Amino acid sequence: MRLLVSVRSAAEVAAAVAGGADIVDAKEPTQGSLGAVSGRVLREIAHAVPAGVPLSIALGDPRNMAALETAIAALDGLAPRPSRVYVKIGLSAAGHGAKALLGTLVDLASRTAIRPSVVAVAYADHAAAGAPAPEMVVRLATATGAEGVLLDTWGKDSGDLFHHLAEPALRAWIAQARAAGLLVALAGSLSIEGVRAVAELPADIVGVRGAACIGGRVGVVSEGRVAHLKAALTRGVAARA
């Protein structure tokens, strides 16, 4: 299982990588669960991430096709990378147009220079988010050709992933996604204890932001905190094996 650490600036990349992050994710935490960084900041982050480290990019929750095109335009300034690139999109604002929006992203992403893999984001608190249920997001991802799914929390002040979904429900969702051949990622206000709990599940990636920072989600990424998270994840996965 790989550890994804979200950074909001190029200045945080070195600490994330030195601490053991397997994937560096570009995200602006003040703009919501999937807040996108500006095009300039994204280019700076991409330049700072070592070539061999995969890059993930949050594109927010676009409301319509125009908003989606604006979001993906930020990718135009990025040079192709030897490592994998992922783009994440939430569907809380898409309403009945969620399938069309996700399908359009898959198509547009394939035409960019970096050709990123598309990850559809489901929210454990989907009712509060006004988003499709996690099971539906798996079906949408499968139908549109997305490569993966991420289960996250939309609200960051109403409990972590395990507050909204018990372990049996998480296992059932992971099994559904795996049966569909999708990459599976879990996140959602996870503390180090939450990371240990995720390590017991058959997911591919666990994502963190607040637990990796001094000062919480809008603080600054700490190499030491990332290292503690990485160690906890490694021990948990080893114990499961």
Q: Exposure of 20 by Cβ count < 10 A (0-12 exposed, 13-18 middle, 19+ buried)?
A: middle
Backbone angles phi, psi at 212, to 5 degrees: -90, 0
**Spatial contact of 49 and 42, defined as CB atoms under 8 Å apart:** no
Catalytic, 88? Answer yes
Annotated active-site residue in 88, 99, 156, 230: 88
Question: Which 8-state DSSP code applies to residue 238?
Answer: H
| CB hemisphere CA count around 8 (13 angstroms) | 20
Catalytic, 230? Answer no
Tokens 């599976």 identify what position? 184
Angle between the 134-144 and 98-110 helix axes, to the nearest 10 degrees? 40
Q: In angstroms, rounded to a whole number, what is the distance separating the alpha carbons of residues 70 and 135?
A: 28
Q: In angstroms, rounded to a whole number, what is the distance separating the alpha carbons of residues 49 and 6?
A: 12
Q: In angstroms, rounded to a whole number, what is the distance separating the alpha carbons of residues 12 and 172?
A: 35
Strands (E), 112-202: 117-123, 148-152, 183-186
Annotated active-site residue in 27, 99, 156, 230: 27
Quick one: tokens of 179? 């049966």
Give the residue numbers annotated as catalytic, written as ranges. Answer: 27, 88
